[in-house]
Amino acid sequence: MAELPVSDQHSDPLRVTIVEDLALLRDGLTRMLEDNGCKVIAAVDTPDDFLAALEAERPDVAICDVRLPPTFNDEGVRAAIEARNRWKGLPVLILSQYVEQTYASELLADGDGGVGYLLKDRVANVADFVDAVKRVAAGGMALDPEAVSQLMSPARAVDGPFAELTDREREVLELMAQGRSNKAIAAELFVTEGAIEKHISKIFDKLDLAQSSDDHRRVLAVINYMQAR
Q: How far apart are CA 170 and CA 164, in angstroms?
A: 10
Q: What is the DSSP annotation of 49-60?
A: HHHHHHHHS--S
Chain Cα centroid distance, residue 101: 14
* Region of residue 55 (left: phi > 0; alpha: psi -120 to 50; beta: else): alpha
Q: Domain locations in the chain?
A: 14-149, 154-227
Q: b/e for 93-119, b at 16 or more Cβ within 10 A?
A: bbbbeebbeebbebbbeeebbbbbbbe
CATH code linked to domain 154-227 = 1.10.10.10
Cα separation of 5 and 183, whole Å? 12
Same fold, 14-149 and 154-227: no
Handedness of CA 64, 122, 195, 227 (dihedral sign): negative
How confident is the model at residue 39, as a pLDDT?
97
**pLDDT digit string (tens) for the chain, length 229 residues:** 433 334 344 468 999 999 999 999 999 999 999 999 999 999 999 999 999 999 999 999 999 999 899 888 889 989 999 999 899 889 999 998 877 766 666 777 666 668 888 988 888 889 989 999 998 998 888 888 777 766 665 544 456 677 888 999 988 988 887 777 899 899 999 999 999 999 999 998 988 887 766 666 777 787 777 666 5
CATH 3.40.50.150 given to domain 14-149: no
Q: With contact defined as beta carbons under 8 Å apart, do 63 and 118 qualify?
A: no
| DSSP H/E element including 203 | helix 193-206
